[in-house]
Structure 1
């Protein structure tokens, strides 16, 4: 079993969903992003997604785009993400990188897998890579014991969904809304239907993301999903804060609220 497999075995035995939190590497700086991620873990996040800042993020909404722009302007580069992964993995939580595929290709697929594994990373989330074009990554990830997290959407055909779920490992990332990332006032009603479709073809854990901003929404999703994934709401804690200390406190408090949501009976 991978460390992600072990995490979901534990949360299922505890009869709760896992809490997955996202923050970008290098935002606002590499050192500050490490401190923010540590605060997120202290607040109760079970698994950390570290975003690799990208100049043309087609899936990301304005909050994460703004954070990526700040990180890139501050000099964030692909190699920096491995330092952030190492610091995050040292907290003891499974750590994955979320990235568009182009930076992985430019770095070198085998080299990226080796560097991620050496830093203590557990896997990679690839929002714009489909399994039928992922042969090189499937081979490299298998060679370095990394999980492959692919995305499914409400628009996925039954055939596409089954193929994607079969190729995934660790967990399946179900995007509960059609559109870009961003916190929303209400969670999507499509999430539960999408999870049911995944479970009809596999018992792999399913995480639901896009739109969660508070513990109440986290609780709604935890009622039917194996993991609740939160990104933009956590990033906004740093974007809106008057200083780093306030941002760190806000991230820890939000993570604590979200954790209470996924554990609420």
Structure 2
């Protein structure tokens, strides 16, 4: 079943920029405004996270982002309301969710059906091992939701090929060891690995973790990534300007506009 990510990447030459935001950070209304700013600035898709009390794959910046959202009263139902508002405003925009699996496990089949009804396109669970995800993948397929698998820097080649084959929206390639956060420089191996994976994959490849600069985005695009995700950079801006949301909006608008302009370079 096709979804909006399939449409986005139908042209293999298309290079996508995908910002990540924690839903409800710094509070539900400001979160909605910041997400809209990103889309209006030219974001090609969204990756949105539900705040969770133990975000083990996230670094300190995104952990604090989630804690801010929870402290502001954001809960599961708040996130669903935000998703409905975003989908209503942007009916054709691809939207992926990054969830910790407990949030789905506790709710069972109902959660998948609800996400499908809202118009979510794909889900990645960063703490769910592939070998334990058969039920999850079946529920995604049953409800028309795209499956996003993650490939780590130390994933063996044979396993990476299997993960690529089991992704129906795109494959999320982690650019470095460790958790989310910003990185000043990337090792050459990170770029060559994207290049190698893109040559054996028939599915789109999106890279994330640590990317925070426009030249880094360009480098990953040039080495075969179909898309790039940036999140911690925006979470840090929110943290540093909690009482000045317009300045965060200005930063998001400027950064994404620069990224989109760089496609012509």
Q: Does the TM-score normalized on the shorter chain lie above 0.5? A: yes
Partner of 2:258: 257
**1:167 has 2:166 as partner:** yes
For residues 2-21 of structure 1, the aligned pairs below 5 Å read 2-10=3-11, 12=12, 15-21=13-19
Q: Determine whether 1:248 maps to 2:249.
A: yes
1:106 corresponds to? 106
> 1:107 is paired with a residue of what secondary structure?
coil
Change (3 A) 1:111 1:194: farther
Structure 1 spans left out of the alignment, 5+ residues: none
Are 2:191 and 2:219, in contact at CA under 8 Å, matched by a contact in 1?
no
What value does the CA root-mean-square deviation take over the aligned residues?
1.6
Secondary structure of the corresponding residue to residue 27 of structure 1? coil
> Gaps spanning 5+ residues in structure 2: where?
none
Q: What secondary structure is seen at the aligned counterpart in 2 of 1:145?
A: coil
User: Partner of 2:47: helix, strand, or coil?
Assistant: strand
Query: Conserved in 2, the CA contact under 8 Å of 1:67 and 1:239?
Result: yes
- The 1:46/1:8 distance shift into structure 2, 3 A limit, reads same
Give the corresponding residue for 1:216: 215
Residue 144 of structure 1 corresponds to which residue in structure 2? 143
- Structure 1 residue 56 and structure 2 residue 54: aligned? yes
* Residue among 68, 72, 75 paired with 1:74: 72
Please tell me whether the aligned partners of residues 129 and 150 of structure 1 are also in contact (alpha carbons under 8 angstroms).
no
In structure 1, the residue matched to 2:188 is 189
Per-residue deviation, residues 95-133 of structure 1 (Å, max 9, x unmatched): 11101111111122x111111111111010111112221
Question: How much has 1:259 moved relative to structure 2?
Answer: 2.3
Contact 1:67-1:235 within 8 A present in 2 as well:
yes
With over 3 angstroms needed to count, the CA separation of the structure-2 counterparts of 1:38 and 1:227, relative to structure 1, is same
2:40 to 39, 42, 50: 42
1:128 counterpart residue number: 127
Measured in 2, the distance between the counterparts of 1:180 and 1:56 equals: 13
TM-score normalized by structure 1? Answer: 0.92
Which SS does the other structure have where 1:49 is aligned?
strand
1:230 paired residue number:
230
Aligned length, in residue pairs:
260
Aligned to 1:239: 239
1:154–1:190 CA contact under 8 A, matched in 2: no
The superposition leaves residues 137-157 of structure 1 with CA deviations (integer Å, 9 ceiling, x where unpaired) of 111111111111110011001
From the superposition, tell whether residues 112 and 197 of structure 1 become closer, same or farther in structure 2 (CA, over 3 Å): farther
For the structure 1 residues 212 and 27, does the alpha-carbon distance in structure 2 shift closer, same or farther, using more than 3 Å as the test? Answer: same
Alpha-carbon distance in structure 2 between the residues aligned to 1:264 and 1:182: 27
> Which runs of at least 4 in structure 1 moved beyond 4 Å after TM superposition?
none
Query: Cα gap change, 1:194/1:79 in structure 2, threshold over 3 Å: closer, same or farther?
Result: farther
Alpha carbons of structure 1 residues 2 and 32: separation in structure 2 relative to 1, 3 Å: same
From the superposition, tell whether residues 126 and 200 of structure 1 become closer, same or farther in structure 2 (CA, over 3 Å): same
CA distances 1:206-231 after superposition (whole Å, capped 9, x unpaired): 01111221222211111121101111
Pairwise CA distance, 1:190: 3.0
Distance 1:89 1:189 in 2: 38
SS at match of 2:219: helix
Output the CA distance in 2 between the equivalents of 1:16 and 1:136.
32
